[in-house]
């Protein structure tokens, strides 16, 4: 018995887990923050341009993000599958699942783009201000086409992250942010002799960014990972691999849809309160989403490491690594709560022109919403980390059910009741969000603890 024990690799220390998580996770966090900075710069620059344009971007951007995260389920499926195949020494599987991940993502975009192109019809039907719905429709009329390159980038990012090639993902995304700022400055405001296009200029800039990001990611993949031959005979179908990606990915997509759909529904509800309330909601949502990107980066690192542990059948590594990533996540969540409560006016003011006549109203509304957002930072962190770990061990269907029940069985109805039936307005809507996220955080964490205990 002692001879067998001596032959096993020594378990990684807690400090070793933390270092490995940060080595993998920090570039992913930076990449997500940089990706988010694209929409953040749109919001900031449009907020300085016109409050109505900002409200249109909030509404249109929310709808685009719903479709983007729904379609990203197939990209997120690629990550644990590649990590497991690489750890198990199966390079052919790495190529097969990544290629079919691109196939499924393209097919999804072909179905989703037409829905975004007719957004004005159903936004008005859903009770949105016609002027804001028109702004959102003009924004989506251009940006909708960015779904094709954006989803392609997500698949390739998942492939590279699973191979622990995360730094290049960060650098490509940082370049994309710089391109977005420059093109926004030219086209939103009409600088450097360019036409003043307002919200449509922001959409053109974002579309350019997604195309540049895809081109750069493909170029790097072909140069740095030639052994995987991802694009050789790309046109050839692989039904078995496509089926596996689809089966793992569609529950992830619906889970993403349930969560981001909850926030999109909150934007629709805030739109019923008027453009000023919607603008304040959009700013608070941008700020809380930025902190969520940090947690999402840790969640992706958790997915990769859990997938690697699963490929080696190393339950001890999985459990200890999960404990360390959860600890890091909670530290970040507590710091976020402190910032939200101590510096709300300063953060919200960054999005607004100092001379805007409604600046004071937007800030006062946004401060209350950020206080509500502080309530769900810890539980939101818990649910996204648990989801990442569960995806790493390829458990996606039960988490999907938990997400749908939490967000739509509790979160959305409670937002409506608190916000409109009880008359609490925007803060009631956000408290409903907190309740839905809280239930998901508890149930998903319990689910992972049970699954990990069974390994």
Packing angle, helices 315-342 and 275-312, rounded to 10: 160
Residue 261 has pLDDT above 50, yes or no: yes
Residue 6 has pLDDT above 50, yes or no: no
**SS3 label, residue 411:** helix
pTM of the model: 0.78
> What pLDDT band is residue 406 in, cutting at 50, 70 and 90?
very high
Q: CA-CA distances (angstroms) from residue 63 to 120, 135, 295? A: 11, 13, 22
Mean residue pLDDT of the chain comes to 85
Task: Tell me what the mean pLDDT of segment 426-455 comes to.
Answer: 88
| pLDDT one-digit tens code per residue, 278-326 | 888 888 887 888 888 889 889 988 988 888 887 777 788 888 888 899 9
Residue 385 has pLDDT above 90, yes or no: yes
Tell me if 172 sits within 8 A of 213, measured CB to CB: yes
> What pLDDT band is residue 113 in, cutting at 50, 70 and 90?
very high
Residue 227 has pLDDT above 60, yes or no: yes
What integer pLDDT is reported at residue 455 of this predicted model?
Answer: 63
Count structural domains, the chain.
1
> What pLDDT band is residue 8 in, cutting at 50, 70 and 90?
very low
pLDDT higher at 451 or 122: 451
Residue 4 has pLDDT above 70, yes or no: no
> Which range, of 84-93, 100-109, 206-215, 385-394, averages the lowest pLDDT?
84-93
Residue 1 has pLDDT above 50, yes or no: no
Task: Tell me what the mean pLDDT of segment 417-443 comes to.
Answer: 91
For the chain, the residue count is: 455
In a domain, 8, yes or no: no
> Which range, of 50-59, 131-140, 181-190, averages the lowest pLDDT?
50-59
Tell me if 75 sits within 8 A of 109, measured CB to CB: no
What integer pLDDT is reported at residue 104 of this predicted model?
Answer: 94
In a domain, 2, yes or no: no
> What pLDDT band is residue 3 in, cutting at 50, 70 and 90?
very low
What integer pLDDT is reported at residue 421 of this predicted model?
Answer: 93
Tell me if 163 sits within 8 A of 91, measured CB to CB: no
Task: Tell me what the mean pLDDT of segment 184-197 comes to.
Answer: 89
In a domain, 3, yes or no: no
In a domain, 27, yes or no: yes
pLDDT higher at 33 or 331: 331
In a domain, 97, yes or no: yes
DSSP codes of every residue in 67-136: HHHHHHHHHHHHHHHHHHHHHTT-HHHHHHHHHHHHHHHHHHHHHHHHHHHTHHHHHHHTT--HHHHHHH
Q: What percent of the chain has pLDDT over 70?
A: 97
The parent domain of residue 316 ranges over 15-454
In a domain, 7, yes or no: no
Question: Helix-strand-coil percent breakdown of the chain, rounded to 5?
Answer: 85, 0, 15
Q: CA-CA distances (angstroms) from residue 43 to 47, 264, 283, 346? A: 6, 16, 8, 16
In a domain, 6, yes or no: no
In a domain, 5, yes or no: no
> What pLDDT band is residue 447 in, cutting at 50, 70 and 90?
very high
What integer pLDDT is reported at residue 251 of this predicted model?
Answer: 92
Task: Tell me what the mean pLDDT of segment 264-276 comes to.
Answer: 82
pLDDT higher at 211 or 3: 211
């Amino acid at each position: 018995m002692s001879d067998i024990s001596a032959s096993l690799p020594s378990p990684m220390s807690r400090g070793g887990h933390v270092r490995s998580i940060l080595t993998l996770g920090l570039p992913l966090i930076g990449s997500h923050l940089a990706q988010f900075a694209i929409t953040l710069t749109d919001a900031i620059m449009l907020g300085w341009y016109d409050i109505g344009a900002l409200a249109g971007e909030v509404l249109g951007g929310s709808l685009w993000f719903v479709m983007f995260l729904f379609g990203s389920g197939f990209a997120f499926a690629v990550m644990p599958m590649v990590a497991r195949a690489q750890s198990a020494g199966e390079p052919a599987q790495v190529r097969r699942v990544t290629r079919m991940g691109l196939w499924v993502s393209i097919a999804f975009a072909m179905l989703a783009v037409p829905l975004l192109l007719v957004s004005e019809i159903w936004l008005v039907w859903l009770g949105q201000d016609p002027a804001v719905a028109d702004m959102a429709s003009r924004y989506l009329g251009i940006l909708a086409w960015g779904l094709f390159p954006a989803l392609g980038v997500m698949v390739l990012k998942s492939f590279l992250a699973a191979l622990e090639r995360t730094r290049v993902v960060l650098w490509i995304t940082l370049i994309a942010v710089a391109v977005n700022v420059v093109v926004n400055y030219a086209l939103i405001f009409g600088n450097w002799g360019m036409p003043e296009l307002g919200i449509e200029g922001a959409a053109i800039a974002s579309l350019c960014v997604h195309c540049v990001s895809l081109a750069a990611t493909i170029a790097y993949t072909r140069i740095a990972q030639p052994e995987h031959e991802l694009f050789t005979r790309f046109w050839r179908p692989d039904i078995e691999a496509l089926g596996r990606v689809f089966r793992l990915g569609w529950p992830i997509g619906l889970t993403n849809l349930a969560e981001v759909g909850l926030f999109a529904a909150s934007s629709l509800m805030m739109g019923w309160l008027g453009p000023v309330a919607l603008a304040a909601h959009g700013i608070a949502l941008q700020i809380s989403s930025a902190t969520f990107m940090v947690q999402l980066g840790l969640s992706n690192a958790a997915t990769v490491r859990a997938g690697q542990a699963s490929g080696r059948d190393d339950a001890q590594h999985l459990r200890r690594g999960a404990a360390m990533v959860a600890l890091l996540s909670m530290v970040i969540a507590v710091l976020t709560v402190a910032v939200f409560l101590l510096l709300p006016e300063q953060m919200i003011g960054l999005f607004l022109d100092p001379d805007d006549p409604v600046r004071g109203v937007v800030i006062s509304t946004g401060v209350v919403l950020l206080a509500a957002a502080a309530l769900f930072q810890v539980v939101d962190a818990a649910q996204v980390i648990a989801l990442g770990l569960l995806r790493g061990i390829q458990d996606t269907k039960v988490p999907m059910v938990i997400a749908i029940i939490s967000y739509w069985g509790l979160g959305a109805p409670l937002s409506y009741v608190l916000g409109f039936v009880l008359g609490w307005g925007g803060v009631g809507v956000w408290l409903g969000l907190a309740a839905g996220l809280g239930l998901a955080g508890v149930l998903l964490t319990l689910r992972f603890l049970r699954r990990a205990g069974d390994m």
